[in-house]
């Protein structure tokens, strides 16, 4: 939406720019355990802190449930400016919160893409910053990663699987296949094992050894298990 257009405007003007993709680590657990009112309170305070830290020429947006983004422009030293902003964000967002008497802490991960080297248009720049965010999340909480072209194809594919898996249940792409459990002594079938299979319209039949580990890491395994 507006964030995308703002990023495009900066790049059309041939100005150096950085996109910082920001994900709140552990927010879902807080939201589920303490309720949406507490979660909404945290999101409001995070947004306020981001606005306060954003430098002149920077635009802040919330792009998902617990994901934010900042596009920043500068005349020179873009990587250094982006790194300084990321470190300030890390310190500020990780500072304690108090919501309705609950003392809370939130960690975050940040992925950074620098234009034009990491993308000459908004779509590519945001995609590469998102890939860097994915690597930051895999590295653990409170991590900052800059995009680099050495991020291999496997990481891109896993990120694609994660995004697509979020919609697999709604799109009725998952199937259950049943495999007989046989008593070798008697030869009798004693039960059936239910096995999840994912039939993706473009990727074809995705084997469980590819998508189950993604589901476990992202917590989607709970909804898949409940559905099965």
DSSP the chain: -HHHHHHHHHHHTT--EEEEEEEEETHHHHHHHH-HHHHHHHHHHHHHHHHHHPPTT-EEEE-SSSEEEEEEE-SS-HHHHHHHHHHHHHHHHTS-EEETTEEE--EEEEEEEEETTT-SSHHHHHHHHHHHHHHHHHH-SSEEEE--TTS-HHHHHHHHHHHHHTTTTTTT-EEEEEEEEE-TTT--EEEEEEEEEEEETTTEEE-HHHHHHHHHHHTTHHHHHHH-
Catalytic status, residue 66? yes
Considering 66, 76, 121, 130, which one is annotated as catalytic? Answer: 66
CB 181 within 8 A of CB 193: yes
Catalytic positions are 66
């Amino acid at each position: 939406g507006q964030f995308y257009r703002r990023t495009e405007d900066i790049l059309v003007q041939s100005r150096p720019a950085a996109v910082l993709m920001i994900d709140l680590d552990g927010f879902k657990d807080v939201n589920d355990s303490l309720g949406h009112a507490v979660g909404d309170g945290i999101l409001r305070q995070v947004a306020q802190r981001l606005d306060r830290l954003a430098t002149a020429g920077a635009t802040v947006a919330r792009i998902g449930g617990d994901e934010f983004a900042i596009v920043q422009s500068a005349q020179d030293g873009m990587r250094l400016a982006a790194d300084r902003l990321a470190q300030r964000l890390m310190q500020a967002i990780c500072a304690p919160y108090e919501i309705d008497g609950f003392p809370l802490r939130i960690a975050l991960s940040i992925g950074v893409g620098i234009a034009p080297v990491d993308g000459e248009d908004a779509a590519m720049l945001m995609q590469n910053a998102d890939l860097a965010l994915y690597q930051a999340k895999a590295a653990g909480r409170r991590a900052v990663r800059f995009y680099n072209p050495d991020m291999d194809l496997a990481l891109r594919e896993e990120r694609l699987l994660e995004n697509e898996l979020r919609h697999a249940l709604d799109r009725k792409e998952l199937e259950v296949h049943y495999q007989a459990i046989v008593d070798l002594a008697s030869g009798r079938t004693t039960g059936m094992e239910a096995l999840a299979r994912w039939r993706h319209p473009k990727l074809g039949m995705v084997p469980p050894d590819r998508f189950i580990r993604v589901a476990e890491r992202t917590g989607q395994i709970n909804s898949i298990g409940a559905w099965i």
